[in-house]
Chains A and B, each alone.
Chain A
Amino acid sequence: MPSVALPSHALFGRRLARRSLLRSGGAMLVAGAAAYTLACGGGKKQANQGAASPAAGADPAVAPAGAFIEDLKPRPFVTTPGKPGGILNLHYAGVGANQEPREMEPIASLDVYLGWLAGFVCNGLVKWVETKEYGQLEIVPDLAQSWESPDETALIFKLRQGVRWHDVPPVSGREFVAQDVKFTLDRQSVGGAKFPLAFLYSSIGSIETPDKYTVVLKLKGRDITLATKLGHPQYVMNAPETAERYDINPPTLIGTGPFVMVRYTKGSMFELRKNPNYWKPGLPYLGGVNLHIVPDPAARLANLRSKTVDLDEVPYSQLQPVRRSNPELVVIKFPGNVQGGFAVNHKAPPFTDIRVRQAVQLAINIQDFHNILWDGQAQQNPGCWWWQKPYVLPLSEAFKQDLQKAKQLLAAAGYADGLRFTAIPTSPDPGPRSAVQQLEIWKDQLKRINVDLEILPLDTAQAQQRIFIDKAFQAYSYAQAAAHEDPDRFWMVFVYSKAGRQVTNYADPRMDQYLEAQRNARTIEERVDWYQKAQRLNIEDPGYIFLNTPYKFVAMQPYVRNWVPRASLGSVTRNSDEMWLDKR
Chain B
Amino acid sequence: MSTPAISIENLTKEFPIPFKRERVTAVRDLSLRVEPGQVYGLLGPNGSGKSTTMKIVLGLVSPTRGRTEIFGRDSTRVESREDVGFLPENPYFYKFLTGAETLHFFGKLCGLSGKKLRDRTKELLALVRLEDAAHRRIGGYSKGMLQRIGLAQAMIQEPRLLVLDEPTAGVDPAGSREIRDLILDFKKRGITVLLCSHLLGQVQEICDRIGILHQGLLVREGRLDELISIENQTELILENASPELLADLQAAVAKSTARVVEQRRPQTTLERYFLEVTSDEKKVKGDP
Q: Do A and B bind each other?
A: no
Interface residues of A (CB under 8 A from B): none
Interface residues of B (CB under 8 A from A): none
